[in-house]
Copies of this chain bind each other. A is one copy, B any other.
Amino acid sequence: MGKCTIFRGMIIVARKGVTAQELDSIRERVERLGLRTHLSIGESRTIIGCIGEESRLRSVPLLSIPGVDSVHPVMRPWKLAGRDFAADPTTRIQVGPHLFGGSACLVAAGPCSVEGEEMMMETGRAVAGDGAALLRGGAFKPRTSPYSFDGLKEEGLRILARVREETGLPVVTEVLDPRDAELIAGYVDMLQIGTRNMQNFALLREVGQLQRPVLLKRGMSATLKDLLLAAEYVMSKGNMQVVLCERGIRTFGTEMRNTFDLAAIPWLKQETHLPVVADPSHAGGRRDLVAPLSFAAVAAGADGLIVEVHPDPGNALSDGDQSLAFAGFTALMRDLGAFAEAAGRKL
């Protein structure tokens, strides 16, 4: 048995004014050799990404195919996730009526756990009124101890769906088990992969086969390369709708729950075309840090935030210390505007 292929991938940049027919025939030519192609049409350029056994391309005079302007190998270990692989600096990913990766800063808000319909409905109305773009809430909860509350399961999904109907907010929730992925995708608008599952490759492949946007949270000791390769797992199965999330890493620090690796945001914006959001609630683990971390994330270029909000944080079933009450969320959204504007975004 041979050594692993060190796989590089290839990018074909199309000539300005390339026609749809030309694009089709370029892709057909590449796919005939057993490679997969991905078309990315941006504001100023068009790109055909090629994934597969690149050595087969060597025999093809690619530059002489009509519509081809130039051809570039992809040197990084991530291909589909790499910034060069897309025509625009940031890919737009639609969730409900909103676009991640555009000029808006999208805020997802809601409790750690879906604890019941009333509290979810109340939260949904409150955060919608303050300008949140999505509702978050866990129906299947990963817990460090097997004896902790682990969520309402499908009943939680039904609650999320009813709150969406009522408030118009698209809904994001976590999936833990590949066997639940399809069920969950039937209820919600965006699937979250949690920090403990960032390298659960069976799960990544499963959500890669669904056509639902994925919110991929960074593992607590994952390098940024690991994160991009996890995104690559999802994308390599065909689902290109991945939003990355910095949520703090595990370091020697003891004063806060995690260490918010803010610099990950601009680093990722340079390396990938995928939108990047931040989770200031888990990053700091303290309610009073949520606002300054949110301001900083947006100042550093984040495409959005995911914030824990609970009607009564002192009695939350999980993560109460880091959840904002409604008044705190209202204040956050009010103050965030100036930073979003300084960063050239609308809230």
Interface residues of A (CB under 8 A from B): 1, 3-5, 7, 77, 79, 115-116, 142-150, 176-179, 196-197, 199-203, 205, 220-221, 223-226, 229, 232-233, 236, 249-256, 259-263, 265-267, 270, 283-284, 288-289, 292-293, 295-301, 315, 317-318, 338-339, 341-343
Q: Closest B-chain residue to A145, C-beta based?
A: B229
User: Which residues of the partner chain B approach A236 to less than 8 Å between Cβ atoms?
Assistant: 146-147
**Sample of 17 A–B contacts (CB below 8 Å):** A3-B315, A142-B199, A142-B201, A143-B201, A144-B199, A146-B205, A147-B236, A178-B202, A221-B252, A260-B263, A263-B293, A266-B293, A292-B299, A296-B297, A338-B342, A341-B342, A342-B342
Cβ–Cβ < 8 Å partners of A144 in chain B: 199, 226, 229
- Complex alpha-carbon distance, A263 and B248, angstroms: 10
Contact A295/B299 with A5-B147, A252-B250 known, Cβ cut-off 8 Å: yes
Chain B residues within an 8 Å CB radius of A296:
262, 296-297, 299-300
Contact yes or no, B317 A4, CB < 8 A: yes
Task: For residue A196, give the distance in angstroms from its CB to the closest CB of chain B.
Answer: 4
Q: Say whether, besides A1-B317, A220-B221, A256 and B252 are in contact (CB < 8 Å).
A: no
A251 to B224, CA, bound (A): 13
Q: Are A176 and B202 in contact (CB under 8 A)?
A: yes
Starting from the known contacts A143-B201, A200-B203, 16 additional A-B residue pairs (CB-CB under 8 Å) come to A79-B147, A144-B226, A145-B232, A176-B201, A179-B179, A220-B221, A223-B254, A223-B255, A249-B253, A250-B252, A251-B259, A262-B293, A293-B300, A298-B299, A341-B342, A342-B342
Contact: B252 with A223, CB < 8 Å?
Answer: yes
Residue among A201, A232, A318 with the highest chain B CB neighbour number at 10 A: A201
Q: How far is the CA of A322 from the CA of B299 in the complex (A)?
A: 20
Q: Which of B177, B266, B267 has a CB less than 8 Å from the CB of A202?
A: B177
A77's closest neighbor in chain B, by CB? Answer: B145
| Residue on B nearest A9 in the bound complex, by CB | B147
Q: A271 — nearest CB in chain B belongs to which residue?
A: B255
Q: A293-B300, A300-B295 are in contact. Are A249 and B255 (CB under 8 A)?
A: no
A259 and B255 within 8 A (CB):
no
User: Contact between B178 and A179 (Cβ–Cβ < 8 Å)?
Assistant: yes
Contact yes or no, A200 B201, CB < 8 A:
no
**CB pair B252 A252 closer than 8 Å:** yes
